[in-house]
Structure 1
Amino acid sequence: MAEVTVRYWAAAKAAAGTAQEPYEARTLAEALDAVREKHPGELVRVLERCSFLIDGDPVGTRGHETVRLTEGGTVEVLPPFAGG
């Protein structure tokens, strides 16, 4: 397990009620499962529309179960932004 910081932005931050929090997980899928368990409700719905950065790199279309997390890493939770 790696301890990572999950950072929430915009609607995800509002739904979580915090800007960031620590989690222990091996993969992005495990981290997101832990987030959903801790924050049932609106954040679960927001996560369905989010994109993610792992240590600054976009996840894109990769399966979340294949995205490995590193000790001390960061998961950025980015809801869609309006504008252009």
Structure 2
Amino acid sequence: MAAGTIRYWAAAKAAAGTGEEPYRAATLAQALDAVRERHPGELTRVLMRCSFLVDETPVGTRSHDSVRLSEGGTVEVLPPFAGG
């Protein structure tokens, strides 16, 4: 199990009520399950529309169960942004 930081941006930050918090999980799926338990409600809905970067690498369409987290790593939670 790895420990690291989850960073929330824009609507995800507002819904979480914080800009970042620690994770302790082996995979992105486990980390997001823990986030949903800590922040039921709006953040759970926002997460369904988010994209994720794990250690600066886009997750894209990969299964969150297959995305391993690293010790001291960072998960960026990016809701859709307006503009161009």
- The normalised TM-score by structure 1 is 0.99
Q: Any stretches of 5+ residues in structure 2 without a counterpart? A: none
Residue 66 of structure 1 aligns with which residue?
66
| SS of 1:46 mapped into structure 2 | helix
Q: CA-atom RMSD, angstroms?
A: 0.3
Residue 80 of structure 2 aligns with which residue?
80
1:53-76 per-residue CA deviation (whole Å, 9 max, x = no partner) reads 000000000000000000000000
Residue 48 of structure 2 aligns with which residue?
48
User: Structure 1 vs Structure 2: percent identity of aligned residues?
Assistant: 79
**1:9 alignment partner AA:** W
Residue 19 of structure 1 aligns with which residue?
19
**1:73 alignment partner AA:** G
**1:61 alignment partner AA:** T
Distance 1:16 1:70 in 2: 23
- The normalised TM-score by structure 2 is 0.99
Count of matched residue positions in the alignment of Structure 1 and Structure 2: 84
Residue 9 of structure 1 aligns with which residue?
9
List structure 1 segments (4+ residues) > 4 angstroms apart after TM superposition.
Answer: none
- TM-superposed CA distance for 1:28, in Å, is 0.2
1:22-76 per-residue CA deviation (whole Å, 9 max, x = no partner) reads 0100000000000000000000000000000000000000000000000000000
Distance 2:54 2:45 in 1: 21
Q: Any stretches of 5+ residues in structure 1 without a counterpart? A: none
Mapping of 1:22-33 within 5 angstroms?
A: 22-33=22-33
